[in-house]
Amino acid sequence: MKKLVLASLICIVAMTTNGQSKKTKDKNAIKEMCGCFEVTFNFAETFNYSEDEGYKPSKTKVDKGLEWAGLVVDDNNKISIQHLLQVGNPAKPMIIKHWRQDWLYENTDFYVYNGDNEWTFTQEDKGNVKKQWTQKVYQVDDSPRYEGSGSWVHVDGKSYWENTTTAPLPRREYTKRSDYNITLRGNRHEITNYGWVHDQDNSKVIRESGKDDVVLAKEKGYNTYKRVDDSKCKAAADWWVAHNDKWQLVRNKWAEVYGRNTDLSLETKVDNKQLYKHLFSDDITEEKEMNSIIESFVKK
């Protein structure tokens, strides 16, 4: 009996140790996406299924830039990374607040994009997300974009995470295309010896109420993040130090909105301006004013 109890205790200790080791590897992999990177964004439409003979596929798009990814939160069950683009004259660059990614361990609350600026609130069973990490991706104004859960995999010298989820049209598309309203994103984040890769297999989806989804076209995305010395992104890092307090207030307000745990529908424009144009203004600095602006975009 004593041997059986001892064996059970050894097993529990081993499982706990392995669990901590795996979680530590996960967190280290996520934080490998922090730093200064030369980024190449590659997107190409690969197949289309339109019955319209006049259909025009999206042009292949290749862009390059310098991006700073700064660690905002580093807690046991949450890691938050803010991305900033550094563009223009290297001697006097322009800084553009870019996307943010939050990683939550064993998260059960999700906002699933349902088209036309609407997100459906859903809750997963704890067993379905055990030892998984949710990546929540936010727009430049910290409004929702897309999110999904999956396990980080560490095998054969590789570390990667995969998930497929619905999302709004990317910025490069929504000002040019109105023939679909959902991007079904197949996301793969893989840590490499030079930085990391965001590998995407996407579908352009037409969603209409009461009808089955229709796939209009397929798209390949392959974005490479090549690590360079942090000094190259000093301007972006300094900008974030100077502006983080303002954006912390914005994040606080959005956290309160998300915490309502109900379906979310957002206005596209208020006073003929998109949300980011309101919040990016240097004249908007007071918490009460920022809260009021954000709330004005939330449909009741």
Q: pLDDT tens across 201-258, in order?
A: 999 999 999 999 999 999 999 999 999 999 999 999 999 999 999 999 999 999 999 9
List pLDDT tens digits, range 154-164: 999 999 999 99
Residue 174 pLDDT: 87
Residue 175 pLDDT: 87
Please state the pTM of the whole predicted model: 0.92
Integer-rounded Cα radius of gyration of the chain: 21
DSSP string, 162-217: EEEEEEPPPHHHHTT--S--EEEEEEEEEE-SSEEEEEEEEEEEE--TTS--EEEE
| CB neighbours of residue 286 within 10 Å | 11
Residue 120 pLDDT: 98
Residue 76: half-sphere exposure toward Cβ, Cα within 13 Å? 1
Residue 11 pLDDT: 38
Residue 20 pLDDT: 53
Long-range contact list for 6-12, CB < 8 A, 24+ apart?
none
Residue 15 pLDDT: 43
Q: Which two tokens stand for residue 224?
A: 């490479």
d(CA 123, CA 76): 22
Query: Could you tell me which of 161, 160, 159 has the C-alpha nearest to residue 147?
Result: 161
Is there a contact between 79 and 33 (Cβ–Cβ < 8 Å)? no
Each residue of 21-33: b (16+ CB within 10 Å) or e?
A: eebeebbebbbbb
Residue 19 pLDDT: 53
Residue 14 pLDDT: 40
Beta bridge partner(s), residue 198: 189, 223
Residue 3 pLDDT: 47
DSSP string, the chain: -HHHHHHHHHHHHHHHHHHHHHHHHHHHHHHTT-EEEEEEEEEEEEEE----TT--PPPPEEEEEEEEEEEEEE-SSEEEEEEEEEES-TTS-EEEEEEEEEEEET--EEEEE-STTEEEEEE--GGGGTT-EEEEEE-TTS-EEEEEEE-EEEETTEEEEEEEEEEPPPHHHHTT--S--EEEEEEEEEE-SSEEEEEEEEEEEE--TTS--EEEEEEEEEEEEEEE-GGGGHHHHHHHHHHHHHHHHHHHHHHHHHTT-S-EEB-S-BTTB-HHHHHT-TT---HHHHHHHHHHHB--
Residue 16 pLDDT: 42
**What does the domain layout of the chain look like in residue ranges?**
2-231
Residue 207 pLDDT: 97
Residue 178 pLDDT: 93
Indicate the length of the chain as a whole number.
300
Is there a contact between 45 and 56 (Cβ–Cβ < 8 Å)? no
Residue 27 pLDDT: 98
Mean pLDDT per 10-residue section of the chain, whose length is 300 residues: 43 44 96 98 97 94 97 97 96 96 98 96 98 98 98 97 97 91 98 98 97 98 98 97 97 98 97 97 96 96
Q: Which two tokens stand for residue 6?
A: 């001892």
